[in-house]
């Protein structure tokens, strides 16, 4: 029954019933974790052959001894693979280390200390800002927060960031130098930027050194039969007259092994030259043996897509289970809405305004760890205190069922509390 | 015969003989490379079993699934191994990614943007300087040059940096915030900092946020029976009343695979906390599978030392060959001096003042690549134009013999030219 239509007495009774159900939950002594977007062990098993690679074949196809120094741009064959996956092309795509986040961090740092190719002076010469579609990825916001870059929320809509909002902010403010964005199956909503929204973002008036950090982390992480073709975002940027506006990132962390994958970075030639010049001071090069291991196992872009279908077979049922429980437990009460992503690693759950932190606290006390309240927002501040990020992949199906049923109880209980308070 | 005792005519005849010898050299169409400190293929073969690790055993001794995210400080067992190798102790030692240079870079960047734990303000708030023992490691100087940090040469003596020179500079100038240093078998001299010099460096009056970047890259890379025991530098720093003065770096890049190794970083608890806080914004963590692979192969510090003895068996004869050729070809002429390192990757050759660049150019034209003139100095400027860094490990013995004989010819010829010019 719709909680919003309930009388105070009905609400009270419902709260009391939920309170009992919650006490039973607490008594079960659970220890479950829905916090991070980590692959499950069965997903990692899919890449088991890699654990014995490269074996005796330590030479890359182009004849490089991958056991020795050299090659800051990565193996050409892996650049080709990434260039196809991200529709960025071999020449504009680098294969790097184990963390695309470090590449993003380094680019922010290089820009702060030197400015990018279009900067008149270092970003650190004056206060600067980033646009942050919300809810978004906490680790993006962590980088900008660390360096005191002001973060401005803009809504993340089902077709991408709210372009009107971006346009209004950018037109007024040349100190806005960047924008975080997960364009495909966004963290945590699962929303994907459409061709139309992308083109409009690329055409916006902005500071010449404004950059979109296009973190295509889930480009091939589909839960449905076919992933959307990646937008040829660098070509679109050039067409829009802003060829250097976009930095494209990706990695195999959730394709092969999490934290032991290979990162990709793609951009215009000018941007790549600038990045390589800077990163060459920091490292002799990425781990080519790990790159070769990936190349031998994944072979090419088709190999990646076939591999991702095996991931899908494992995790799509987990996503469906979460959606079924949400529908079953929260559907009638009308106290929550949630996304139904076709890919990525998360479901974004919005509960009654003012109850997300309370729901997360109740769950925690019942032994169910959820991502901290506000995590999907800059400064960890959810302006409506309503968003909860659900990460279905890591727990087993049984754990997931128990945890989500518990989360639903906590959300319902929190809703009755706040509705009673305002009654 | 001593070139300095020659008459002009003798010098002319000698030059003409050398010119002919040089022309023969050029006619041979060589293509040899003595530029970088890269291990040879036979050295890399020593770690061949690692190429198939970890195999099915992807769980670390403490139960961590190394295929998944987590653990920014590295595997505890590898921290223990490094802690013993560098005499820094497990708790003060981290196991990180594939490049200790990136750790150094990141620490400089964090300091520029935020200051270190003892800084009143970010290093970038004012012009700062680093002390650079010379000749030294070009990639160190590359980091400070990239960020506009002024570099000041101080002599690198056989017992370590010239402490008197450091003391005089530091006492006058609180803007000196750092010092690069390779303490064991230094690049390129092979000199090792003594206990006495280390203690004096640690006791010097300096800015509170002054740091020694103690890059112990060659701690176990001995060419003789026993490597010197590493100085317990963090303990010595604490004893000297400057517990946070030293950042210790190391890696397995020249133990296992170059560029595919594991880096170590050790320092005081305050410094480690500061580093971890910052690096946690940039990465979820290092590649634990590569750490596990190293742990399984090297096992412990004794395992590393046994492994390094096998490297020594391969490369000690190459160093000896270089020294023999230098002695044979240059000994009597008295136009050069060179170091006789007991470890590390280089021999530092000093030719007649004003002839290093010419010698390197002559060698290049004969198909023998040497590290660019001035590389071992800040701003690539050798104030006396006399230093040449010889890297004996990568070429085969035959290539090395041919190349060094050619280099000797070029050095002799250059010496006759400059001596005739001033005659």
User: What band does B396 get if pLDDT is binned at 50, 70 and 90?
Assistant: very high
What pLDDT shows up at residue A19?
98
- Same domain flag for A361 and A402: yes
A293 and A317 together in one domain: no
pLDDT confidence bin for B314, thresholds 50/70/90: very high
Minimal C-alpha gap between A305 and chain B (Å): 20
Do the domain assignments include residue A52?
A: no
Q: Give the structural domain span for A129.
A: 60-299
A366 located within any domain: yes
Best A46, A287, A380 residue to mutate vs chain B (most B CBs within 10 Å): A287
pLDDT of residue A194: 98
**Residues near A47 by beta carbon (within 8 Å), at least 6 away in sequence:** A255, A256, A257, A297, A307, B67
CB atoms within 10 A of CB B76: 18
pLDDT, average across residues A340-351: 98
Percent of chain A topping pLDDT 70: 100
Query: Do the domain assignments include residue A261?
Result: yes
Task: Give the pLDDT mean for B29-52.
Answer: 95
Res. B1 pLDDT band, cuts 50 70 90? confident
Would residue B383 count as lying in a domain? Answer: yes
Give the domain-ending residue among A260, A282, A299.
A299
**Percentage of chain A lying above the pLDDT 90 cut:** 97
A108, A112, A317, B178 from B128: Cα distances, Å: 22, 17, 57, 9
Spatial separation of the C-alpha atoms in residues A169 and A210, rounded to whole Å:
12
Is B423's pLDDT higher than 90? Answer: no
* Mean pLDDT calculated for residue range B236-246: 98
Run of H or E including A287: none
Q: Is residue A51 part of a domain?
A: no
With beta carbons less than 8 A apart as the criterion, state whether A264 and A258 touch.
no
- Contact at CB, A143 and B281, closer than 8 angstroms: yes
Q: Report residue A346 CA to chain centroid gap.
A: 8
Question: Which of A413, A417, A359, A414 has the alpha carbon at shortest distance from A17?
Answer: A413
Q: Which of B265, B299, B333 is the last residue of a domain?
A: B299
Looking at every residue in chain A, the average pLDDT score rounds to 97
- C-alpha closest to that of B154 among B126, B114, B193, B116: B193
| Residue B29 within any structural domain of the chain | yes
Whether residues B24 and B104 fall in one domain: no
Question: How much is the average pLDDT of A9-33?
Answer: 96
Rg (alpha carbons) of chain A, rounded to whole number? 23
B69, A259: Cβ pair inside 8 Å?
yes
Q: What's the distance, CA A39 to chain centroid?
A: 14
Do A68 and A204 belong to one domain? yes
Q: Which of B277, B299, B321 is the last residue of a domain?
A: B299
A256 and A316 belong to one structural domain: no
Q: How confident is the model over A185-201, as pLDDT tens digits? A: 999 999 999 999 999 99
Cis peptide leading into A351, omega within 30 of 0?
no
Which residue(s) pair with B351 in the sheet? B336
| CA dist B336 → B31, B351, B401 (Å) | 25, 4, 18
The tally of domains found in chain B comes to 2
CB contact under 8 A, A66 and B109: no
- Is B293 in the same domain as B313? no
> Do B111 and B207 belong together in one domain?
yes
A143-198 pLDDT, tens digit per residue, is 999 999 999 999 999 999 999 999 999 998 999 999 999 999 999 999 999 999 99
Residue A379: the pLDDT is: 98
Mean predicted confidence (pLDDT) in A397-422: 97
B249 to chain A, closest Cα gap in Å = 14
> What is the spatial distance between Cα B108 and Cα B209, in angstroms, rounded to a whole number?
12
In a domain, B293, yes or no: yes
* pTM summary value: 0.97
pLDDT at B77 over 90: yes
Task: State the count of interchain CB pairs (< 8 A) between A and B.
Answer: 151
Question: Mean pLDDT throughout B105-115?
Answer: 98
Instruction: Region of A413 please: left (phi>0), alpha (psi -120 to 50) or beta.
Output: alpha
Cα(A130)–Cα(A111) distance, integer angstroms: 13
- Select from B331, B317, B327, B323 the least CA-distant residue to B396: B317
Mean pLDDT score of chain B: 97
Task: Cis check for the bond before B54: say yes or no (omega within 30 of 0).
Answer: yes
User: In whole angstroms, what is the distance from residue A245 CA to residue A214 CA?
Assistant: 10
In contact, B302 and B224? CB cutoff 8 Å: no
pLDDT band at A227 (very low <50, low <70, confident <90, very high): confident
pLDDT given for residue B35 in this prediction: 87
The distance of A126 to chain B (nearest Cα, Å) reads 13
Nearest CB to A101: which of B143, B257, B282?
Answer: B282
Chain B: closest CA distance from residue A44 (Å) = 7
Q: pLDDT digit string (tens) for A61-97?
A: 999 999 999 999 999 999 999 999 999 999 999 999 9
Q: Tokens at residue A410, please?
A: 């906590």
Give me the pLDDT at residue B172, please. 86
Partner residue facing B281 (CB), from A38, A41, A105: A105
In sequence order, the β-bridge partners of residue B264 are B95, B250
Q: Based on the number of CB atoms within 10 Å of its own CB, is A28 exposed (0-12), middle (13-18) or buried (19 or more)? A: exposed
* pLDDT at residue B227 tops 90: no
Predicted confidence (pLDDT) per residue in A309-337, tens digit? 999 999 999 999 999 999 999 999 999 99
Same domain, A250 and A128: yes
Quote the CA–CA distance of B314 and A383 in Å, as a whole number: 64
pLDDT at A355: 98
Chain A closest-CA separation from residue B247 CA (Å): 16
Render the burial of B141-169: b for 16+ CB within 10 Å, e for the rest: bbbbbbbebebbbbebbeebbbbebbbeb
Tell me phi and psi for residue A28, to 5 degrees: -75, -10
Return the axis-axis angle of helices B76-85 and B301-330, rounded to nearest 10°.
40
Band (pLDDT 50/70/90 cuts) for residue B228 is confident
Q: Indicate the helix (H) or strand (E) that contains A387.
A: strand A387-390
Task: Please give the Cα distance from B209 to B147 (Å, whole number).
Answer: 18
| CA–CA distances in Å: residue A339 to residues A140, A185, A219, B98 | 21, 11, 18, 39
Give the CATH number, domain containing residue A204.
3.40.640.10
DSSP state of A156: E
Backbone dihedral angles phi then psi of residue B132, each to the nearest 5 degrees: -130, 100
Task: For residue B67, give the nearest of A69, A102, A257 by CB distance.
Answer: A257
The verdict on a CB contact (< 8 Å) between A284 and B139 is yes
Same domain, A291 and A311: no
Best mutation target, B35, B71, B281, to test chain A (most A CBs within 10 A): B281
Phi then psi dihedrals of residue A370, to 5 deg: -115, 160
Q: Is the peptide bond before A188 cis (omega within 30 degrees of 0)?
A: yes
| Residues B253, B139 share a domain | yes
Residues B413 and B322 in one domain: yes
- With beta carbons less than 8 A apart as the criterion, state whether A179 and A212 touch: yes
Q: How far apart are CA A175 and CA A168, in angstroms?
A: 13
How far is Cα A244 from Cα A117, in angstroms, rounded to an integer? 8
Q: Is residue A9 part of a domain?
A: yes
Domain CATH for A33: 3.90.1150.10
* Co-location of B105 and B236 in the same domain: yes
The predicted-structure confidence for B133-160, as pLDDT tens digits, reads as follows 999 999 999 999 999 999 999 999 999 9
pLDDT at B361 over 90: yes
Judged by CB atoms closer than 8 Å, whether chains meet at A68 and B286 is answered as no
Mean pLDDT for B123-128 is 97
Question: What CA–CA distance (Å, rounded) separates B87 from B82?
Answer: 8
């Amino acid at each position: 029954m719709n909680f919003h239509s309930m009388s105070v007495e009905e609400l009270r009774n419902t709260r009391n019933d939920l309170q009992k159900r919650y006490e039973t939950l607490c008594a079960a002594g659970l220890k479950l974790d829905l916090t991070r977007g980590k692959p499950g062990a069965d997903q990692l098993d899919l890449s088991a052959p890699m654990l014995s690679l490269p074996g005796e074949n330590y030479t890359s196809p182009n004849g490089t001894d991958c056991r020795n120094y050299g090659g800051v741009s990565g193996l050409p064959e892996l650049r080709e693979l990434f260039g196809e996956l991200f529709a960025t092309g071999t020449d504009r795509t680098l294969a790097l280390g184990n963390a695309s986040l470090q590449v993003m961090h380094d680019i922010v740092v290089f820009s702060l200390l030197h400015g990018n190719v279009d900067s008149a002076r270092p970003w650190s010469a004056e206060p600067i800002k980033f646009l942050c579609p919300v809810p978004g990825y906490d680790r993006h916001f962590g980088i900008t927060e660390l360096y005191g870059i002001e973060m401005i929320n803009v809504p993340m809509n089902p077709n991408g960031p709210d372009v009107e909002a971006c346009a209004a902010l950018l037109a007024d403010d040349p100190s806005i130098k960047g924008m975080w964005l997960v364009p495909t199956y966004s963290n945590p909503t699962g929303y994907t930027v459409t061709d139309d929204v992308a083109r409009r973002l690329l055409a916006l008036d902005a500071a010449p050194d404004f950059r979109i950090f296009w973190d295509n982390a889930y480009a091939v992480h589909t839960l449905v039969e076919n992933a959307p073709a990646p937008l040829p975002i660098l070509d679109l940027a050039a067409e829009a007259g802003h060829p250097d506006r976009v930095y494209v990132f990706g990695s195999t962390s959730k394709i092969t092994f999490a934290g032991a994958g290979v990162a990709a970075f793609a951009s215009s030639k000018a941007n790549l030259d600038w990045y390589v010049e800077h990163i060459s001071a920091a490292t002799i090069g990425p781990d080519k043996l790990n790159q070769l291991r990936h190349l031998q196992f994944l072979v090419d872009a088709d190999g990646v897509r076939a591999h991702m279908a095996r991931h899908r077979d494992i995790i799509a049922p987990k996503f469906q289970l979460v959606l079924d429980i949400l529908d079953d437990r929260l559907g009638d009460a009308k106290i929550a809405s949630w996304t139904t992503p076709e890919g990525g690693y998360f479901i974004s759950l919005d509960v009654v305004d003012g109850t997300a932190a309370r729901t997360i606290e109740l769950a925690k006390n019942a032994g169910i760890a959820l991502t901290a309240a506000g995590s999907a927002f800059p400064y960890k501040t959810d302006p409506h205190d309503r968003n909860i990020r659900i990460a279905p992949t890591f727990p087993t199906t049984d754990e997931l069922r128990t945890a989500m049923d518990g989360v639903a109880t906590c959300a319902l209980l929190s809703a009755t509390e706040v509705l009673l308070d305002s009654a």
